[in-house]
Every structure is written in C-alpha cells, then in structure tokens.
C-alpha cells in the first residue's frame, strides 16, 4: 500500500461481531442476542454465602444468579432449585458449573429455535472469552 501506518486486525469481523461490537449488513439480523440480553441479571462470587445471595436475588425479583469471577467470566449458575436449597451451603457447592452459553452476535430467531430445540427457558450470553453479557429469557422472544 505504501502507507506509513498500516495495521492488520487479524481476527477480523467474526471476532468483532462475537464480542457484540457494532456490525451491519444485509445478512446481519436486526435483533441480536446481545441486544435482548438482560445485563442486570444478578451475579455472585464463588466464595459468597448462599444465604446472602438468596436474599439479594429475591429482593431484586430474580430466580437465578450467575456465578462469575473478578473478570466477570462465568463459572456457574444458581437456578431456582439451588436458590431454594440449604442456605448454609456455599455458592460453589450449590451452583451448576459450566452452563451453556451463546455469543452476542447470534440472531434472536436462530437463538429462539435453538432454545426450543433444547427446551431451555433462558440462556446466558457471553463473549468468546467467557465474560458475562447477560441473560436471554425465552418467554420474551416468543
């Protein structure tokens, strides 16, 4: 090119989209998982006391809590049953580790199809390196 400052974004547009960054075009769905994910889903840490988490999550009107580390990487999830379980347990004992996730760039129609096929009522949206974006609720897509 003969230009003095040329940079190559080697990971390219797939990487950009998978992190939920703005992209457009005729094949980009109008609404993406990252757009409809609840960013305010409650989170907790492995070392938190379950009793404290139960109280906080219920007060916020939720029935799930996402277990994350300091970088907001998802480690597990506390579902309704776990939140109703023995309050003396630790979050680590009560959580389901490694919940399934999708990327923010998946279109909501594809996502809904996938959730129906797997009978999921909600699904976590994370970046490719596992950081929490939010939670999508199937009922809101139907």
Partner 1 sequence: MTPRSIDRDEVRRLLAEEQAQLVEVLPAREFSEEHIVGAINIPLKEIDERAPRELDRERPVIVYCNDYQ
Binding flag, residue 9, partner 1 (CB under 8 A)? yes
Binding flag, residue 129, partner 1 (CB under 8 A)? no
Considering only residues 26 through 45, tell me which ones interact with partner 1, judged by CB under 8 A: 26-28
Binding flag, residue 19, partner 1 (CB under 8 A)? yes
Binding flag, residue 7, partner 1 (CB under 8 A)? yes
Q: CA 92, CA 108: separation in Å to the nearest integer? A: 31
The 10 Å Cβ neighbour count of residue 81 is 10
Alpha carbon separation from 105 to 16, 93, 102, 117 (Å, rounded): 9, 32, 8, 19
Binding flag, residue 139, partner 1 (CB under 8 A)? no
| Region of 12-20, 42-50, 62-70, 86-94 interacting with partner 1 (CB under 8 A) | 12-20
- Within a 13 Å sphere around the CA of 125, how many CA atoms are in the beta-carbon half? 26
- Using DSSP, state whether 127 is helix, strand or coil: coil
- Using DSSP, state whether 137 is helix, strand or coil: strand
Count of residues engaged in binding partner 1, rule: CB under 8 A? 26
Binding flag, residue 21, partner 1 (CB under 8 A)? yes
Binding flag, residue 1, partner 1 (CB under 8 A)? yes
């Amino acid at each position: 090119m003969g230009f003095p400052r040329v940079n190559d974004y080697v990971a390219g547009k797939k990487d950009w989209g998978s992190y939920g960054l703005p992209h457009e075009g005729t094949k980009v769905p109008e609404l993406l998982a990252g757009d409809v994910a609840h960013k305010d889903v409650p989170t907790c840490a492995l070392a938190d006391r379950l009793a404290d988490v139960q109280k906080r999550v219920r007060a916020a009107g939720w029935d799930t809590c996402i277990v994350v580390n300091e970088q907001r990487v998802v480690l597990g999830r506390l579902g309704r049953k776990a939140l109703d379980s023995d309050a003396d347990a630790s979050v680590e004992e009560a959580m389901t580790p490694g919940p399934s996730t999708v990327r923010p760039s998946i279109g909501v129609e594809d996502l809904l199809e996938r959730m129906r096929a797997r009978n999921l009522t909600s699904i976590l949206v994370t970046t490719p390196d596992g950081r929490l974006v939010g939670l999508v609720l199937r009922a809101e897509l139907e």
